[in-house]
A and B are shown apart, each in its own frame.
Chain A
Amino acid sequence: MDPVLSCDVLLRYVGGPQISAAFEVPASGFSVTVLFGPSGSGKTTLLRCLAGLERPEGSIRWGAEVWLDSAQALFVPPRRRQLGFVAQDSALFPHLNVLGNVVYGLQRMARVERQERGLELLAWLGLQELADRLPAEISGGQRQRVALARALAPRPRLLLLDEPLSALDGPARLRLRQDLRRTLRELALPSVLVTHDRSEAIQLGDRIVVLDGGQVKQVDSVRRVFDRPADPEVARIVGMETVAAGPVVEVAGGLATVALGSARILAPAPEGLGAEAFVCIRAEDVILEREEGAPTTARNRLAGRVIALHPEGAMIRVGLDCGFPLESLITRRACQELALAPGVAIIALIKANAIHLIPRG
């Protein structure tokens, strides 16, 4: 069996919340485990436990290596865990230039080798022109990439990323997000990433650890967490939208067609769209009709069947099978007028620009 990073920890704060979590991370090859949850759910604290920056009760093991065993007062400090840690605000050393930051962890190497490795990493991340700049003289996105290069320089066994993109604004953030997954894949390195951003979790993660109130709610593949949340709590945290993955079959005129089961979904193509994409549809954007009516502007007409009806106050959440699971949120009156019941055939209408595609490389 592959070696596994296993974490089973408990943190207590005086008069405050308690964090208690157990999960595992594959410890070899490429994988991205996302610690996902609202702010205050304890995800950053858990990441800090893995890094050794917090000393909780419980145990943390890396394969046969014990990093923490509070019962035996065993604790391996961060410097001997051989991991890379990228902080939210990049935490670059302000008194060292970019190259100086990148080679910081290479003290044991000969000087020439050290410079070579540093420059090689900078070139790989497209930062070679910045080698002599100070952190204050480069952009936020560049700082995050330098922080990544610095963490990677000593060839860590595990990469820990604490909301690495949250300090960035819109476009830079989207661009870096695409780069990040590609970079992580090339490294063939397991990583654990903290985020509260759904799109980021979907785009970057393989596996998701859903956290709420300091507890692990679900550990599963990205697809399963969004498809089949373990309970309503998880559904609330991950959002109520339909999230389904499928191959991109066509891109033309700024619109992409994604195959979901037998259905074809048309939606605006995001930048960096590859062979596969996640399709996100909000239930309130799905219009239902009983039979084929007059033409509408909605580009997606999906034939399907009602699976289940779940009342939610004045609204009813309708579970549909349109070749893939889909949800629609409608009023009670609409439900009565259309005489919806499990088994009834319907047509679901969705405007193309109400659909959100997340590239998946």
Chain B
Amino acid sequence: MDWQAVRLSLELAGLTTLLLLALGLPIAHWLAFSRFRLKFLVEAVVALPIVLPPTVLGFYLLLAAGPRSPLGRLWERVLGHPLPFSFEGLLLASVLYSLPFAVQPFAAAFASVDRSLIEASECLGASRLSTFLRVILPLSWAGVLAGMVLSFAHTLGEFGVVLMVGGNLPGVTRTASIAVYDEVQAMNYEAAGRTALFLLVASFLLLAVTYGLRSRQKRPWTLS
């Protein structure tokens, strides 16, 4: 098994999940509770990566982050190297590509919290942040955890986006899924089989956890 690629995959998935937690919670909160009339448009944008071919997402990312775009130049000045074909570029692409897998379960879990509890909290003088941390989050933890596990699993399984944005640099952007492809191309079936088995087992376990959590969604996480 290609340990370097597996480690890179796990690192990428872990960091992506953390970033999605930071980014996804506020977006999901807004989606679950906003009364903005054009909210459906934002929902559609968030869901785009589900249906978009990874190559399309990768293509636009390359365009946006390339040396000729303002974003790309800014990035190069800050980090000292261009965004495409770097780990950071891969991370950015992964965050965008897995966004719906985090935001949708988060938002669904938040929306399922009884509104009267949120109103009770507001009437008791709690700020929005306080209500979120003390009522919404403890009552939707299973959905949040499910969203995190799904983002992790989805990032592990990325292929097209990684190839487009990351290229195939060992130790930098060569993830486990790319490694399998490489081994197969080199007719190295035994090595490919081991990495593939790892991805299969890991993905199955993660999904089992996700669906297991779904049945526990109703049970609140009880604080002392």
Please report A residues at the B interface, Cβ cutoff 8 Å. Answer: 51-53, 77-85, 87, 89, 91-97, 100, 104-105, 107, 134, 150-151, 154
Contacts and interface: CB of A to CB of B under 8 A. Distances in A.
Contacts of B119: 51, 53, 78, 85, 87, 91
B117 A79 contact: no
Main secondary structure on chain B at its contact with chain A? helix
Contact of A95 (B121, B125, B138): B138
Given A52-B123, A89-B116, 8 more contacts: A51-B123, A78-B119, A91-B114, A92-B120, A93-B121, A94-B220, A95-B222, A107-B126
A95 B142 CA distance: 13
A204 B222 CA distance: 36
A51 B123 CA distance: 7
Contacts of A97: 224
Contact of A87 (B116, B125, B223): B116
Contacts of B135: 93
B139 interface: yes
A85 B123 contact: yes
A97 B222 CA distance: 9
B138 A79 contact: no
Interface of B: 114, 116-117, 119-127, 130, 134-135, 138-139, 220-224
Contact of B124 (A52, A89, A134, A154): A154
B205 to A, nearest CB: 28
Contact of A83 (B114, B123, B222): B123
Given A91-B114, A95-B222, A104-B134, A82 B125 contact: yes
Counting chain A CB atoms within 10 Å of each CB, the highest count among B122, B126, B135 belongs to: B122
A95 B135 CA distance: 8
Given A87-B116, A105-B125, A154-B125, A94 B139 contact: yes
A107 B130 contact: yes
A299 B49 CA distance: 81
23 contacts: A51-B119, A53-B123, A78-B122, A79-B124, A79-B127, A81-B123, A83-B123, A85-B120, A85-B123, A87-B116, A87-B119, A91-B116, A91-B120, A93-B121, A94-B117, A94-B220, A95-B138, A95-B221, A95-B222, A104-B121, A105-B125, A107-B125, A107-B126
Nearest to B137: A95
A100 B220 CA distance: 15
A105 B124 contact: yes
B223 A78 contact: no
A150 B116 contact: no
B117 A93 contact: yes
A151 B138 CA distance: 21
A91 B119 CA distance: 9
Contacts of B122: 52-53, 77-79
Nearest to B124: A105
A332 B220 CA distance: 64
Given A96-B223, A100-B223, A104-B121, A79 B116 contact: no
B18 to A, nearest CB: 25
A77 B119 CA distance: 11
Counting chain B CB atoms within 10 Å of each CB, the highest count among A79, A85, A100, A150 belongs to: A79
Contacts of A87: 116, 119-120
B36 to A, nearest CB: 15
A95 B120 contact: no
Given A91-B116, A91-B117, A95-B139, A79 B221 contact: no
A316 B123 CA distance: 51
Contacts of A89: 116
